[in-house]
Amino acid sequence: MVTVTDDSVDGADALTVAIAAARGGDDDAFRTVYRLVHPPLLRYLRTLIRADAEDVASETWLQIARDLRSFRGDGDAFRGWAATIGRHRALDHVRYHQRRATVAVPTEEFAERAANDDTSIDAVDALGSERALSLIQSLPADQAEAVLLRVIMGLDAKTAANVLGKRAGAVRTASYRGLRRLAMLLTEPQPTDAADRPPSRAVTPTSAWTLKGTR
C-alpha cells in the first residue's frame, strides 16, 4: 500500500502519486484523489446544474472509479479528465430532463482560468464561494465556463480547451475577458437593502445558457 500525505508531497505531485497508487488498487490513495479533486469538481458542477450537482458528481466518481485503471497521465491531466466526465454527465442529466419535460434545468453555467499572478484571479479567490459562483454565472456562457475550468478546476488553457472542444487560444481569450469582467463587478457597490437590489432575472430555457459539448 502506498500512503500519500500532504506533508510528503504537495499539489499536483501529491495527486499524481495518489493516482498511480489508486490505479494499483490502493483504497487509501483513491480517497486521497477524491479529497484533492472532489471539492473543485463539485463547485464546477454546482455552477453548471445547481441543485442536482451532488447526483451528477456521484455519477462522475462512479465512472472515474470504473475507468481509473485505463487512465494515463499526471495530476493535471486527471483534473481535466474528471472535468470532462463531469461535463458529459451534466449534459446527459440536462438532456434526460429536457426529454421528459418534468424539470426546468437551467443550462446556463460553464467556464475557465488564466495566469496564477492575474490580479483578477486573486480577487475571485478572495470572494466567498457563493458570491464568486454567482458572479461567474452572470458572465456570457463561453467566458463563464472558461473561468470555471481554469480558476475553479485549476486547468491550464490546453486542458480546458480539450474539455470544451475548443482551441486553447479561444479559451485564453474567453478566460481573460471573463476575469476582466469579474474584476469590474467586484468594484461595483453592493446594495445593502433588499429594496435597493435589482429584481432577479428569471431563468428560462430561452434565457439560460446553451450547454454544448462533444461526446
Q: pLDDT tens across 11-33, in order?
A: 558 999 999 999 999 999 999 99
- Choose between 49 and 101: higher pLDDT: 49
DSSP codes of every residue in 164-209? HTS-HHHHHHHHHHHHHHHHHHHHSPPP-SGGGSPPPPPP-TTTS-
Q: pLDDT tens across 194-209, in order?
A: 444 444 433 333 233 4
**Domain 11-100 class in CATH:** mainly alpha
Q: Which fold does the domain 106-190+201-215 belong to in CATH?
A: Arc Repressor Mutant, subunit A (1.10.10)
Measure Cα distances from 138 to 10, 95, 135, 152 in Å.
34, 23, 5, 16
| Best CA proximity match to 132, nearest among 122, 119, 141 | 122
Burial of 76 (0-12, 13-18, 19+ CB in 10 A): middle
Q: Where are the domains of the chain?
A: 11-100, 106-190+201-215
pLDDT at 122 over 80: no
Q: pLDDT tens across 50-109, in order?
A: 778 899 999 999 999 999 999 999 999 999 999 999 999 998 888 877 776 544 444 444
